[in-house]
Amino acid sequence: MHALALLTLAPAMLATAAEEFRWPHEAPDNWLLAFIDVETTGLVPGYHEMIDIGIVMTDLDGVAIDELFLRIQPEHPERTDDGARAVNAFDEQRWRELGALSTDAAIASMRNFHTRVAGERPVLMVAFNSHFDAAFLDQLFRSRDRSWRELYHYFVLDLPSMAWSLGIRNLTGASISGILKIEDEPHIAELHTGITGARLNARIYRALLAYSDAN
């Protein structure tokens, strides 16, 4: 098999690479989507850290199958940016009281979740500003000499880009939600988490599918 083709395979599929690979348009039932949102201690991956992650797993139509929410105890809480804290209300002691996981435990929990829900089916990551979420996910796994590609396919989907292609040139979740007439996520810091964002991402995706069909 050509090296480029191997790169496009999810790691789980590499074990069965001898079998015929089928893309989403050829075998939609074989694929899943993972709508992801992360909260962090700031904007710089590798210096700032993830403090929580929400994952909503769906089929290709956006129908929810299962979800996961984890709080993660950062190893350098002293680096927390005031702007980030104003958005997500991170506090080191509060996170401990809420059962935040270590980096190792968080990675194991994500891996177990994907194994249980997706099995060997390839999963496409979907996010809002996907480069941001992917960069922090990469740093989390890289800190333990792991790869986030253990979970997700080579391609990553971005919701604002989907909206842009349909003529919706707004770039925030709140403004796109308003245009699509769907419920936004909470903007109260204590209630604003990765799972509220992941659920919003799935709502936006479903609304964009309906918007595309109607137009």
CB 17 within 8 Å of CB 48? no
User: Which residue segments constitute the domains of the chain, with CATH numbers given?
Assistant: 29-214 (3.30.420.10)
172 backbone dihedrals φ, ψ, rounded to 5°: -120, 155
Express each pLDDT in 30-85 by its tens digit.
999 999 999 999 999 999 999 999 999 999 999 999 999 999 999 999 999 999 99
Q: Which residues, including other chains, have CB under 8 Å from residue 76's CB and lie 6 or more apart?
A: 41, 49
Buried b (16+ CB within 10 A) or exposed e, 114-153: beebbeebbbbbbbbbbeebbbbbbbbbeeeebebbebbb
Residues 88-96 have a mean pLDDT of 98
Taking residues 206-212, what's their average pLDDT?
Answer: 98
For the chain, the farthest-separated pair of C-alpha atoms sits apart, in whole angstroms, at 51
pLDDT value for 198? 98
Whether 14 has a pLDDT exceeding 70, the answer reads no
For 150-176, how does the pLDDT look when each residue is reduced to its tens digit (9 = 90+)?
Answer: 999 999 999 999 999 999 999 999 999
Closest residue by Cα to residue 21 from 33, 10, 36, 35 = 10
* Mean per-residue pLDDT of the chain: 93
Residue 10 clears pLDDT 60, i.e. is over it: no
**Does residue 19 carry a pLDDT above 70?**
no
> Is the per-residue pLDDT at 11 higher than 60?
no
Q: What pTM, to 2 d.p., does this model score?
A: 0.91
